[in-house]
């Protein structure tokens, strides 16, 4: 539309210029003819025309040509300027339209978004954010982001803010916000630094409400916890009675009967182990595991576990290597320490074939205890390294060759490490072996 208008203006201008040019030429020629008529000028062969007459007629042509050229230049420059102006207008209009659209998307998005200033003040909450905080924009704007998180999350927020100030994004951090009425919502928080017009950057913060999902998860975990707890009593009863029957205290059993009762006992032991594992998982997930620190002789705990695994170690003729440094008594929770050693050592024995080697090193690294379990077993395929601490995950090679496993052991180790503020990592090569290293503050 505007382009058409610009073209029309140029056409009108060109017609006016032509009319002006025509008039000029007409006036020029008329004067020339008047001169001719008056006999002042005679049209003769060129050589017979006087110098003045020739100059006069050439002057007329030159004036005409000059007028044409100047008109053309003016026309072209005006047309170009109009076109540039038009393109600039269109670009501005497009930019405004897309800005408007982005703003609308931001405002109407079902995901709660906030803009935060460099100092961590809330600047522009969208509608979903207002719904999440259950408040109005005036109550949020210009307030420090801290005021909406409970105290125990402040340190976490501090880290996220300094990351953002250093232009580093943070993804999917689980926290909970506190509304004015005191209710809490679990959120997954991400912050992306965005450059603003001023020199200091802003941050785009997204908060995904996962309260309902967390509640369902918690209800499931509570159910597992309750069920495992209830299962322990009948399983213990089966254990005692089968042990009594095997011992012969209630009369001698026939060899076949002993064989079957032993099978019941064995299966029951596996069931007790599974139930205890489930109970540990649920307690760790619910955060109800009370850390009970006391002086622990680490080597004794390790030796005790190796003794328990003796049957499996001997059956597979696995050679056990030990490297123990001089370790002082450690102030830690023996049950949790046991879970780490038990899972790492039993895995090493389980995933190492007959005649292989398992090595346990217990050493001090500065103020930390390092537990290193190395084996010459099947290893973990590289493509599965990232998933190995995931709940219920078992690598493909382990699933194919060893049916006994539930994928909870390493998940427990990782969760225990979080409780004890330690860390666990591994290096592994498929078909060659694995080394797990757990580090615990002393």
Residue 189 in contact with ligand ADP, rule: CB under 6 A: no
Q: Please, which of residues 379-438 interact with ligand ADP by CB under 6 A? A: 379-380, 388, 393-395, 398, 405-411, 434
Whose Cβ is closer to ligand ADP: residue 113's or residue 411's? 411
DSSP for 10-73 reads HHHHHHHHHHHHHHHHHHHHHHHHHHHHTTSS----GGGS-HHHHHHHHHHHHHHHHHHHHHHH
Residue 362 in contact with ligand ADP, rule: CB under 6 A: no
Angle, nearest 10°, between helix axes 255-286 and 211-247? 150
Residue 287 Cβ vs ligand ADP, minimum distance, rounded to whole Å:
20
Q: Please, which of residues 7-36 interact with ligand ADP by CB under 6 A? A: none
Q: Compute the distance between CA of residue 431 and CA of residue 395 in angstroms, rounded to an integer.
A: 13
Residue 430 Cβ vs ligand ADP, minimum distance, rounded to whole Å:
9
Whose Cβ is closer to ligand ADP: residue 149's or residue 411's? 411
Q: Closest by alpha carbon to 349, among 386, 394, 308, 397? A: 308
Show Cβ contacts of residue 363 under 8 Å, excluding neighbours closer than 6 positions.
Answer: 323, 324, 325, 327, 369, 370, 372
Residue 411 Cβ vs ligand ADP, minimum distance, rounded to whole Å:
6
Residue 270 Cβ vs ligand ADP, minimum distance, rounded to whole Å:
12
Length of the chain: 442
* Size of residue set near ligand ADP by CB under 6 A: 22
Angle, nearest 10°, between helix axes 255-286 and 409-419? 40
Residue 348 in contact with ligand ADP, rule: CB under 6 A: yes
Q: How many CB atoms lie within 10 A of CB 319?
A: 12
Q: Closest by alpha carbon to 128, among 106, 149, 150? A: 106
Show Cβ contacts of residue 152 under 8 Å, excluding neighbours closer than 6 positions.
Answer: none
Whose Cβ is closer to ligand ADP: residue 340's or residue 440's? 340
Whose Cβ is closer to ligand ADP: residue 186's or residue 351's? 351
One of 343, 376, 414, 438 touching ligand ADP (CB under 6 A): 343
Residue 343 Cβ vs ligand ADP, minimum distance, rounded to whole Å:
6
Whose Cβ is closer to ligand ADP: residue 160's or residue 348's? 348
Between the CA atoms of 402, 406, 409 and 411, what dihedral angle is there, to the nearest 10 degrees?
Answer: 130
Distance from the Cα of residue 49 to its chain's centroid? 93
Residue 340 Cβ vs ligand ADP, minimum distance, rounded to whole Å:
11
Distance from the Cα of residue 19 to its chain's centroid? 70
What sections of 291-441 are H helices per DSSP? 298-308, 310-315, 334-350, 396-401, 409-419
Q: Please, which of residues 100-159 interact with ligand ADP by CB under 6 A? A: none
Q: Compute the distance between CA of residue 185 and CA of residue 150 in angstroms, rounded to an integer.
A: 11
Q: Closest by alpha carbon to 167, among 199, 189, 193? A: 193
Whose Cβ is closer to ligand ADP: residue 117's or residue 428's? 428
> Which x/- pattern, by CB under 6 A, does the window 367-386 give for ligand ADP?
--------x-xxxx------
Whose Cβ is closer to ligand ADP: residue 193's or residue 379's? 379
Residue 342 Cβ vs ligand ADP, minimum distance, rounded to whole Å:
10
Whose Cβ is closer to ligand ADP: residue 90's or residue 270's? 270
Residue 434 Cβ vs ligand ADP, minimum distance, rounded to whole Å:
4
> Which x/- pattern, by CB under 6 A, does the window 213-242 give for ligand ADP?
------------------------------
Contact 299, 329 (CB under 8 A): no
Whose Cβ is closer to ligand ADP: residue 160's or residue 395's? 395
- List contacts with ligand ADP (CB under 6 A): 343, 347-348, 351, 375, 377-380, 388, 393-395, 398, 405-411, 434
């Amino acid at each position: 539309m505007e382009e058409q208008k610009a073209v029309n203006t140029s056409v009108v201008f060109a017609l006016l210029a032509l009319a002006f040019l025509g008039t000029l030429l007409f006036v020029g020629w008329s004067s020339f003819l008047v001169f001719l008529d008056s006999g002042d000028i005679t049209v003769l062969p060129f050589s017979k025309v006087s110098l003045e007459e020739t100059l006069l007629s050439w002057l007329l042509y030159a004036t005409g040509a000059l007028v044409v050229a100047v008109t053309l230049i003016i026309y072209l420059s005006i047309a170009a300027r109009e076109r540039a102006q038009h393109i600039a207008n269109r670009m501005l209009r497009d930019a405004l339209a897309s800005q408007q659209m982005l703003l609308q998307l931001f405002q109407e998005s079902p995901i709660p978004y906030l803009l935060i200033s460099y100092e961590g003040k809330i600047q522009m909450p969208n509608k979903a954010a207002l719904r999440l905080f259950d408040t109005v924009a005036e109550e949020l704007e210009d307030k420090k982001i801290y005021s909406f998180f409970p105290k125990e999350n402040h340190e976490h927020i501090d880290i996220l803010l300094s990351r953002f100030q250093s232009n580093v994004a943070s993804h999917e951090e689980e926290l909970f916000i506190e509304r004015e009425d005191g209710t809490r919502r679990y959120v997954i928080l991400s912050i992306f630094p965005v450059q603003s017009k001023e020199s200091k950057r802003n941050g785009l913060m997204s908060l995904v409400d996962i309260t309902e999902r967390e509640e369902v998860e918690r209800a499931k975990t509570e159910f597992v916890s309750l069920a495992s707890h209830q299962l322990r009593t009948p399983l213990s009863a089966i254990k005692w009675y089968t042990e009594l029957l095997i011992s012969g205290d209630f009369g001698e059993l026939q060899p076949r009967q002993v064989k079957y009762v032993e099978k019941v006992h064995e299966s029951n032991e596996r069931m007790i182990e599974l139930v205890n594992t489930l109970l540990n998982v649920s307690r760790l997930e619910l955060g109800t595991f009370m850390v009970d620190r006391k002086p622990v002789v680490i080597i004794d705990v390790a030796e005790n576990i190796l003794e328990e695994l003796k049957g499996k170690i001997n059956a597979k003729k696995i050679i056990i290597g030990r490297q123990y440094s001089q370790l002082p008594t450690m102030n830690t929770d023996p049950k949790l320490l046991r879970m780490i050693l038990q899972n790492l050592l039993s895995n090493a024995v389980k995933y190492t074939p007959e005649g292989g080697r398992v090595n346990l090193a217990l050493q001090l690294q500065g103020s930390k205890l390092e537990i290193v379990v190395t084996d010459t077993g099947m290893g973990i395929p590289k493509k599965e390294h990232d998933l190995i601490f995931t709940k219920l995950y078992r690598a493909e090679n382990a699933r194919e060759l060893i049916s006994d496993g539930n994928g909870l052991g390493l998940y427990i180790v990782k969760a225990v490490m979080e409780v004890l503020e330690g860390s666990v990592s591994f290096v592994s090569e498929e078909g060659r072996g694995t080394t797990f290293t757990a580090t615990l503050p002393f």
